[in-house]
Amino acid sequence: MPRFALKIEYNGTGFSGWQRQSDQTTVQGEIENALQRLEPDVPSIAAAGRTDAGVHALGQVAHCDMVKDWDPNRLMGALNYHLKAHAISIVACARVAPDWHARFDATERQYRFRLVCRRAPVTHDARLVWQVGHGLDLKAMQDGAAHLIGLHDFTTFRSVMCQSKSPVKTLDEISIVQADYPGGQEFTFFLRARSFLHNQVRSIVGSLERVGAGSWDPDRMRTALEAADRSACGPVCPPQGLYLSHVVYQDDPFIG
């Protein structure tokens, strides 16, 4: 069966996450419904990573197996036609080898998190950012984040429901960018790693917000990490500011 890689963008608002559920609206479920409109016996698709309810994607990647040898652009167009009622878009489609796998062939996942600081409620970015009503100290958050770079036991920043076999992960980057505008600020957090634990990004950003607000000293990020204890984590931030922004492959199927 011909295999195709799909690069997917979606607004996670209103979806119960990525993974298909029999009684909930999910991103995977709607894409599989669209595929079945094209070919009724399409197998389940596989993605580079699952996202929780309310989490967005700019560059999620999945693969699907088809019976017909579709032209990738025609397949992308047909899927987008059947997905037009949903906040899901297939932004690229490519033919890949039969053994290519969206999850297992990925060498890096990249996430971004948007945090807006202002008193007035956001309007255009409602459900697309996490909003707090106080300012944050960029340098303090950067100093706190530096303690997390590298290979560590991230038990503190791991959901109790995480199914990963090990809490040990290598975090390659946490960078934070501040943008000021009249009436507020926006902080964007960029995180890169081969893989992440469940709720790891939201746990880290929630703890760094406490550092930026002055409630935590930057060194508390180090002591929280070394505790390897979930109770040492700060508040887990809400999902609406989180985006799966990019998935890296050694041979990117969407280039060339």
* DSSP assignment of 52-67: -TT-EEEEEEEEEE-S
Compute how many other C-beta atoms are within 10 angstroms of the C-beta atom of residue 135: 13
Listed residue (11, 49, 233) closest to 129, CA to CA: 11
Q: Is 204 helix (H, G, I), strand (E, B) or coil?
A: helix
Sign of CA dihedral 249, 60, 239, 123: positive
Helix (H) / strand (E) containing 110 = strand 106-117
Concerning whether 52 is annotated as a catalytic residue, the answer is yes
CA distance 12 to 99: 29
CA distance 57 to 6: 13
Catalytic residue among 52, 65, 137, 217: 52
Active site residue ranges? 52
